[in-house]
Chains A and B, each alone.
Chain A
Amino acid sequence: MAHSIPPPRPAGVLPASPGALAELLDEHAYLCDDGLATACFLALRMGRPLFLEGEAGVGKTELAKTLARVLGAPLIRLQCYEGLDASQALYDWDFPRQILHLRAAEAAGATDAARLEGELYDRRFLLARPLLRALETSPSVLLVDEVDRADDEFEAFLLEVLSDFTISVPELGTIRAETPPVVVVTSNRTREVHDALKRRCLYHWLEHPSYDREVAIIRRRLPDAAGRLAGQVARAAAALRAADLLKPPGVAESLDWTEALVALGVRDLDPDAAALTLGAVLKYREDRDRGLAALFDGG
């Protein structure tokens, strides 16, 4: 990215109003509207997780990354997938080291089984996975990405962690976060996430941006793009979204597209340039034909 990145703010200084937070996000090249700014502001102030839903590519993941930069906190990301379980999301015991420890103790002639077990389940043998790492890192931004891809069992773990920011390890006791991390949960709505989880969160539905905002985003993120090109791409993206495609493009695709056009030295979005670069925006063969028709035939 070509924009200049301002130094991170000192941790622990929270913006005073949604507007102030929006300005901070803007400094880090993330443009958001009133609703999203208020949502982020409340998430920081109330210590509640922010549950973001919306079409793919509207900037859900990017928001978490930008928040981490604004707060000067590390971003800890948990990508969800089916079968994700506690040993991959919360913690795991370091089994090879545990076995080594056992063998070493045995070689040294240790015989007290109870003491040996006590040693074995010690914090130093515990591997922190993203959720535990987020509780132990303060401050931090925890991104639970695409929670709808995980299965329901995982939601139960997540609910427990997000409701009181503690993790209980049976062999070790309860681990509590000093300062709860800022949590952003994203979902693409491939399935309904349980209401109990949503109730713990602030819910925000992210829309595709308006034309003006999209132009602003493109110009903010890609200063090399001429203003006219940014406008043409934003207008084309809006037309594609209205064109009944299998996968309408998000802002992420508009940015990719503009970047491709800039890389080719295109100054004006004409049918030839569009046909050459449409692969950056539309990823289905059916969409490609229909998209070109929507852009240039009587449109």
Chain B
Amino acid sequence: MRDVVETVVGFARTVRAAGGRADPERVQAMLTALDHLDVLDPRDVYWAGRLTLCADPEDLPRYDRCFVAYFSGRTAVPGPRRTPPPVVRTVRVAPPVPDPPSNGDAPADASVTSASGVEVLRHRDVSRLGPDERAEINRLIAVLGASAEPRRSRRLTPASSGRLDPARTVREALRHGGEPAVLRHRAPRTRPRRLVLLVDVSGSMSPYADALLRFAHAAVRAGTAARRVEAFGVGTRLTRVTRELGTRDPDAAMRAVAAAIPDWSGGTRLGEELKEFLDRFGQRGMARGAVVVIASDGWERGDATLLGEQMARLARLAHRVIWANPHKARPGYAPLAAGMAAALPHLSAFTSGHSLAALEELARLIGDPGHA
């Protein structure tokens, strides 16, 4: 029999390599759990690990795979064998349409773009940018930390008027020899609403998906524990990418997102994906009272009836629903795509999001309901 500690540490390494949570504290907990159980009973070992090394239902299938792989003995080679880092797919971007040189040569380095150059860039469609211009725009998107409008919280904070604050009043009374001469008050404070971003990553949106995901990255980064921001990639499957977007460096975050989304540049099943979002996350609470942004061109392969139904459901749950369709900025655009037409009646705002200026507008719309 191999040493228990060695076996568990080796197993934890397998779980960690597969992307699971097996930090030292959790491994220690698994070892402690095994102290109380029968180390030789595979079921006990399974549960000791599952109860300590998992913290989410999404961890469970991975844990099961690792358990089978490690303890079936075929791949169990405890030792400093490094698993290769997961393959990272780069974010696919539509080939840039070469720009007609506007005045003279394009600047060799985007960081020296002049102020007026930035102004021109702000209004340019992001699908028609060269690599340098794109880098410049990406830098500007990175500081667009969109934040949703405030709502009244149930938490109270000291205020000059409002309900009586007994704790502070008693302390004040003590200072005056027991006379409650000064009354202290407290009132509800405000907190930003939750912001949920659903970014379409299907083929038809690929020229814009990168910029929109970067917008989402800036919003997620700007969010704190108190002002939560959630982001999802929507294609033929729904992928939660909030954790991936938590990385500070935008390029690293984009690589992480690209690795996480299995169906990048595939088709769209917007209605079904929205339903999945509402079933798994939205109705449980994520969409309740939130500002929800859908960034998509509204191209629906399937029947648009489902999308209409789900949009109505979303509109009932969310505080506001904003749709950003990059194609809206095209001359002569009309919301004729079946999906878009079905969604339109349920929106609080319909905007474009095709250029930096349009993304700034989107950020304003998210933060301010009066702004239309």
Listed in ascending order, the chain A residues whose CB lies under 8 Å from chain B are: 18, 34-35, 38-39, 41-42, 45-46, 48, 51, 53, 81-83, 85, 87, 93, 95, 98-99, 102-103, 105-106, 111, 113, 116-117, 120, 148-149, 151-153, 188-191, 194-195, 198-199, 202-205, 246
* Shortest distance from the beta carbon of A67 to any chain B beta carbon, whole Å: 16
Residue of B nearest to A83 (CB): B154
> CA–CA, A130 to B57, complex, Å?
29
Cβ contact within 8 Å between A48 and B29: yes
Listed in ascending order, the chain B residues whose CB lies under 8 Å from chain A are: 21, 23, 25-26, 29, 32-33, 36-37, 43-44, 47-48, 50-52, 54-57, 60, 153-156, 166-167, 169-170, 173-174, 177-180, 225-226, 228, 279, 283-286, 288
* Residue numbers in B under 8 Å from A190 (CB-CB): 284-286, 288
Among candidates B48, B174, B177, residue contacting A120 with C-beta atoms closer than 8 Å: B174
* Residue numbers in B under 8 Å from A18 (CB-CB): 37, 44
* Residue numbers in A under 8 Å from B44 (CB-CB): 18, 38
Among candidates A34, A93, A111, A189, residue contacting B167 with C-beta atoms closer than 8 Å: A93
* Residue numbers in A under 8 Å from B26 (CB-CB): 199
Among candidates B153, B169, B179, B180, residue contacting A82 with C-beta atoms closer than 8 Å: B153
Residue of A nearest to B275 (CB): A244
Cβ contact within 8 Å between A99 and B25: no
* Shortest distance from the beta carbon of A295 to any chain B beta carbon, whole Å: 20
Residue of A nearest to B26 (CB): A199
* Residue numbers in B under 8 Å from A194 (CB-CB): 225
- Known A-B contacts A34-B43, A95-B166, A95-B169; the reply to A39 vs B51 at CB < 8 A is yes
* Shortest distance from the beta carbon of B187 to any chain A beta carbon, whole Å: 13
Cβ contact within 8 Å between A199 and B155: no
* Residue numbers in A under 8 Å from B180 (CB-CB): 99
* Residue numbers in B under 8 Å from A46 (CB-CB): 29, 32-33, 36
Residue of A nearest to B25 (CB): A199
* Residue numbers in A under 8 Å from B288 (CB-CB): 190
Cβ contact within 8 Å between B173 and A102: yes
Cβ contact within 8 Å between A99 and B170: yes
* Shortest distance from the beta carbon of B20 to any chain A beta carbon, whole Å: 12
- Known A-B contacts A93-B167, A203-B51; the reply to A82 vs B154 at CB < 8 A is yes
* Residue numbers in A under 8 Å from B154 (CB-CB): 81-83
Cβ contact within 8 Å between B23 and A199: yes
* Residue numbers in A under 8 Å from B54 (CB-CB): 203, 205
* Residue numbers in B under 8 Å from A111 (CB-CB): 177
- Known A-B contacts A188-B284, A203-B55; the reply to A113 vs B29 at CB < 8 A is no
- Known A-B contacts A38-B51, A85-B155, A205-B60; the reply to A95 vs B170 at CB < 8 A is yes
Residue of B nearest to A155 (CB): B225
* Shortest distance from the beta carbon of B340 to any chain A beta carbon, whole Å: 24
> CA–CA, A120 to B178, complex, Å?
11
* Shortest distance from the beta carbon of B193 to any chain A beta carbon, whole Å: 13
Among candidates B36, B60, B173, B284, residue contacting A45 with C-beta atoms closer than 8 Å: B36
Among candidates A48, A191, A202, residue contacting B285 with C-beta atoms closer than 8 Å: A191
Cβ contact within 8 Å between B37 and A98: no
* Shortest distance from the beta carbon of B180 to any chain A beta carbon, whole Å: 6
Among candidates B43, B57, B225, B279, residue contacting A205 with C-beta atoms closer than 8 Å: B57
* Residue numbers in B under 8 Å from A83 (CB-CB): 153-156
* Residue numbers in B under 8 Å from A153 (CB-CB): 155, 226
Cβ contact within 8 Å between A102 and B37: no
* Shortest distance from the beta carbon of B40 to any chain A beta carbon, whole Å: 14
* Residue numbers in B under 8 Å from A148 (CB-CB): 285
> CA–CA, A120 to B173, complex, Å?
12
Cβ contact within 8 Å between A106 and B155: no
Cβ contact within 8 Å between B166 and A105: no
In this complex, which of B166, B169, B226 has the most chain A Cβ atoms within 10 angstroms of its Cβ?
Answer: B166
Q: Which 4 A-B pairs have the closest CB atoms?
A: A83-B154, A190-B285, A102-B178, A95-B166
* Shortest distance from the beta carbon of B8 to any chain A beta carbon, whole Å: 15
Cβ contact within 8 Å between B170 and A152: no
